[in-house]
């Protein structure tokens, strides 16, 4: 995460205003494919076939009538209509317009994502592997920016800025993300703890009270320990926040606020691993939003903590 202090005015100066999320509805062209990818694991049967066809050949889908898309996916026009409504569209014409707009933008920017779906082969040169990883991460970042509800980020930042205590829960790779968030919040004077052991986490969450905040991190939203800790925190009145890629997951269901991220897996790099970068970006955004709301205090604590560790840096002089 980036240092909050960089590029900001000193203590006593006017704090920058927090960004205001727009209340405008999504336009038909806003991240259609990102929405399809985020919902794909939830779809089954005929709906899944429609989704896979749209993701495999979005340009072809944009050129197809509803009957043609139904025939190509082995479904029916009624299924295609249900698919559109599941994504939040009134009907097929809105979906088609959105896909056309998105594929047109990709063509104008050089089609940087064309090779993402290709499997990495053992004989691939590292130059090509690097390109695929960069393309996958870039798509995941763009999709996350589309899926993320900034109003939820605003509410989470408001709660953390006013909280006396923040608990963060995560297992395995998500624990690393939680530890990073704890470190950053500590640097600006927020009392935060990251828990990975379920017994310790449950004991801590049982002590939370209204006004405290608990954050659960899980790409799948299925990590049982994380769900239990977040639910326990919520049962005691704490504001609960889920960071996940699945808006209808068990973790999201027990949370007051849900921050969505996207992932784009590649060979040897499954979705859960590729979700780390978007998770860190969202938590970085949340951290900055908290610092904006506590600007004077955050600036002072950042300077104090920076001085505390300054003596442990290597000498600038090379012997």
Domain ranges in the chain are: 26-110, 150-310
Residues 150-310, CATH architecture: 3-Layer(aba) Sandwich (3.40)
- Check residue 39 and give its pLDDT: 83
- Check residue 118 and give its pLDDT: 54
Same fold, 26-110 and 150-310: no
What does CATH list as the number for 26-110? 1.10.10.10
Q: Name the average pLDDT for the chain.
A: 83
With 0.75 as the threshold, say if the pTM is over it. Answer: no
Q: Spell 265-282 as b/e; 16+ CB within 10 A means b.
A: ebeebebbebbbbbbbbb
- Check residue 273 and give its pLDDT: 63
**Tokens 């600006």 found at:** 188
Sites in the chain below the pLDDT cut of 50: 2-29, 108-115, 267, 318-319
d(C-alpha 114, C-alpha 92), whole Å:
25
- Check residue 138 and give its pLDDT: 83
CB atoms within 10 A of CB 59: 14
Tens-digit pLDDT profile for residues 178-229: 999 999 999 999 999 999 999 999 999 999 999 999 999 999 899 999 999 9
Are 155 and 259 in contact by the 8 Å Cβ rule? The answer is: no
d(C-alpha 258, C-alpha 248), whole Å:
10
Residue 110, Ramachandran bin (φ over 0: left; ψ between -120 and 50: alpha; else beta): left
Q: What is the DSSP letter of 41?
A: G
Are 206 and 308 in contact by the 8 Å Cβ rule? The answer is: no
């Amino acid at each position: 995460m980036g240092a909050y202090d960089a590029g900001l005015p000193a203590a006593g100066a006017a704090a920058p205003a927090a960004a205001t999320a727009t209340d405008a509805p999504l336009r038909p062209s806003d991240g259609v494919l990102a929405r399809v990818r985020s919902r794909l694991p939830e779809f089954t049967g005929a709906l899944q076939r429609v989704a896979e066809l749209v993701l495999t050949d979005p340009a072809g889908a944009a050129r197809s009538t509803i009957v043609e898309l139904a025939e190509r996916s082995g479904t029916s026009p009624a299924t295609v209509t249900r698919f559109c409504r599941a994504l939040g569209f009134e009907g097929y014409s809105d979906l088609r317009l959105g896909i056309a707009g998105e594929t047109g933008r990709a063509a104008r920017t050089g089609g940087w994502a064309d090779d993402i779906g290709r499997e990495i082969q053992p004989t691939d040169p590292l130059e090509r592997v690097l390109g695929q990883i960069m393309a996958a991460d870039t798509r995941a970042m763009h999709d996350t920016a589309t899926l993320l509800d900034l109003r939820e980020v605003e509410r989470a930042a408001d709660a953390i800025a006013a909280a006396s205590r923040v608990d963060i829960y995560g297992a395995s790779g998500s624990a690393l993300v939680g530890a990073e968030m704890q470190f950053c919040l500590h640097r600006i004077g927020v009392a935060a703890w990251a828990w990975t052991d379920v017994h310790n986490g449950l004991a801590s969450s049982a002590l939370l009270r209204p006004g405290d905040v608990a954050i659960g991190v899980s790409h799948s939203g299925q990590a049982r320990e994380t769900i239990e800790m977040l639910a326990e925190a919520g049962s005691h009145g704490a504001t609960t926040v889920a960071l996940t890629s699945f808006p209808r997951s068990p973790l999201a269901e027990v949370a007051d606020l849900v921050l969505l991220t996207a992932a784009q897996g590649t060979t040897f790099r499954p979705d859960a691993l590729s979700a780390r970068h978007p998770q860190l970006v969202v938590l970085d955004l949340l951290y900055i939003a908290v610092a904006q709301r506590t600007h004077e205090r955050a600036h002072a604590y950042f300077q104090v903590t920076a001085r505390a560790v300054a003596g442990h840096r290597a000498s600038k002089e090379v012997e």
